[in-house]
């Protein structure tokens, strides 16, 4: 969320309403961890709900891995939310919560969402948590409305998100392949100009910063980049000083999301990692607060 629209989340229902906007899509058959530091949401992670016949050692390894990733974000607590049928969600939520505790994190709540209703595994009071659960917030809840007003998007499912980020194909892919070959030749020319390592690094750093700023100007004004510009930026971003420079300039403005989505979809496979990481930071939920 942008600093101009900080979402207040003060109940399990409001947190459930916020999750699709933290992830970018409405989860289903999923385990989601929403991690906080103090009063602010700092990180959200999701993985598929385990299959019924998945071996126990794989289940424990998966939960431990998720907990380790969450703990590395510098958070101090988390809420675990399982989406799906009770017989699959209940053990998965319990495993994930226990793995988080082993990492030293406080588990604030453990929730299940099934068929539009939610339950808390931590609540034992029938008046607060009736046996048939509570209705999930409607799509037009106050949290959803505030997130939408702030420019956040919650796609209908993960498949829609994957499709939105899918690499270009056909003639567009062929054009990018040719443009990338030209960019690689351009980089080789830089190396020929400065054969010693320090000189080459200096030239790459300067070229990368120039390319990042040019991309920002273009997308800020509502334009895009030509194939050769995207390919050149992609080739330069594999160099850490260039990637770090782009990361330092990251913001959550919609045009930045458009920019890094476009670059991610168009670069050749060897150059996907940097724009993917940068795109993930443009949707950082660090400004979402909970009481």
DSSP 189-248: HHHHH--SHHHHHHHHHHHHHHHHHHHHHHHHTT----HHHHHHHHHHHTSHHHHHHHHH
- Taking CA 236 as the corner, what is the angle to CA 264 and CA 220, rounded to the nearest 5 degrees? 55
Which CATH code fits 8-156? Answer: 3.40.140
28 vs 156, which has greater pLDDT? 28
Query: Where do we find the tokens 């595994």?
Result: 121
Our CA dihedral for 58, 60, 61, 63, rounded to 10 degrees, sits at 120
The share of the chain scoring above pLDDT 70, in percent, equals 91
Q: Where are the domains of the chain?
A: 8-156, 166-282
Categorize the per-residue pLDDT at 7 as very low, low, confident or very high, splitting at 50, 70 and 90.
low
Distances (CA, A) of 145 to 32, 96, 264: 22, 30, 29
| pLDDT tens readout for residues 140-192 | 777 777 776 666 777 788 887 778 788 999 999 999 999 999 999 999 988 87
């Amino acid at each position: 969320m942008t600093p101009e629209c900080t979402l207040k989340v003060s109940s399990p229902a409001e947190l459930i309403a916020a999750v699709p906007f933290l992830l970018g899509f409405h989860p289903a058959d999923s385990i989601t961890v929403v991690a906080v530091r103090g009063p602010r949401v700092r990180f959200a992670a999701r993985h598929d709900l385990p299959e019924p016949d998945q071996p126990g050692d794989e289940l424990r390894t998966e939960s431990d891995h998720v907990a380790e990733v969450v703990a590395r974000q510098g958070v101090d607590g988390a809420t675990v939310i399982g989406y799906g049928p009770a017989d699959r969600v209940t053990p998965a939520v319990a495993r994930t919560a226990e793995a988080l505790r082993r990492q030293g994190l406080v588990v604030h709540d453990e929730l299940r969402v099934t068929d539009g209703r939610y339950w808390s595994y931590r609540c034992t009071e029938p008046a607060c948590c009736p046996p048939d659960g509570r209705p999930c917030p409607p799509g037009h809840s106050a949290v959803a409305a505030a997130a939408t007003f702030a420019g956040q998007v919650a796609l209908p499912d993960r498949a829609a998100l994957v499709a939105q980020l899918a690499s270009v194909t056909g003639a567009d892919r062929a054009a990018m392949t040719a443009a990338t070959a030209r960019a690689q030749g351009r980089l080789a020319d830089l190396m020929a100009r400065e054969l010693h390592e320090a000189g080459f690094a200096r030239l790459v750093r300067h070229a990368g910063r120039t390319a990042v700023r040019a991309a920002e100007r273009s997308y800020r004004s509502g334009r895009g980049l030509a194939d050769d510009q995207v390919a050149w930026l992609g080739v330069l971003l594999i160099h850490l000083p260039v990637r770090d420079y782009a990361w330092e300039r990251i913001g959550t403005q919609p045009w930045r999301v458009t920019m890094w989505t476009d670059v991610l979809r168009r670069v050749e496979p060897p150059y996907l990692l940097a724009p993917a990481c940068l795109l993930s930071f443009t949707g950082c939920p660090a400004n979402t607060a909970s009481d």
